[in-house]
Each structure stands twice: as C-alpha cells, then as structure tokens.
Amino acid sequence: MERIKTIETRDLKESAVKGGCGECQTKGVANQQCEEK
C-alpha cells in the first residue's frame, strides 16, 4: 500500500544548475516567486 505521498516541488539541487537568473524581486524568501516556469 502507498504509505508515502510525495508532493510536487521544485528540486533545489536542479535549481543550482537551472536557477540563478537573478530576475526575481527582492517590511524571508519562502513565499517569493521566480520570474527556468
């Protein structure tokens, strides 16, 4: 039986390769959004 349900999330390790475009905005960062969608 399925005991573990994995919720879809952005892979942070992958984002080390694909992220870093710097286009994100700057009164934490958890609820910020990207502006590699």
Partner 1 sequence: MVHQYKLNGYNIVLDTCSGSVHAVDEIAYDIIGLYKEKSPEEIAEIITEKYADENITPDDVFECIEDVKALEEKGKLYTPDTYEDMAFDFKNRNTVIKALCLHVAHTCNLNCEYCFASQGKYHGERALMSLETGKRALDFLIENSGTRRNLEVDFFGGEPLMNLEVVKELVAYAREIEKIHNKNFRFTLTTNGILIDDDVIDFCNKEMSNVVLSLDGRKEVHDRLRKDYQGRGSYDIIVPKFQEFVRRRGDKSYYIRGTFTHANTDFTNDIFHMADLGFKELSMEPVVCAPDDKSALTKEDLPLLFEQYEILAKEMLKRQKEGNGFTFYHYMLDLTHGPCIYKRISGCGSGTEYMAVTPSGELYPCHQFVGDKKYLLGNIYDGVTNKEIQNEFKLCNAYARKECADCWAKLYCSGGCAANSYHASGKITGIYEYGCELFKKRIECAVMMKVAEQFDN
Would you tell me which residues interact with partner 1 (CB under 8 A)?
3-13, 15-16, 18-35, 37
Closest to 15 in 3D by CA, of 7, 4, 25, 24? 24
Q: How far is the CB of 17 from partner 1 (least distance, A)?
A: 10
Question: What DSSP state is assigned to residue 8?
Answer: P
In the complex, least distance from residue 6 CB atom to partner 1, rounded to whole angstroms: 5
- Residue 34 near residue 24 (C-beta atoms within 8 A): yes
Shortest distance in whole angstroms from residue 26 CB to partner 1: 4
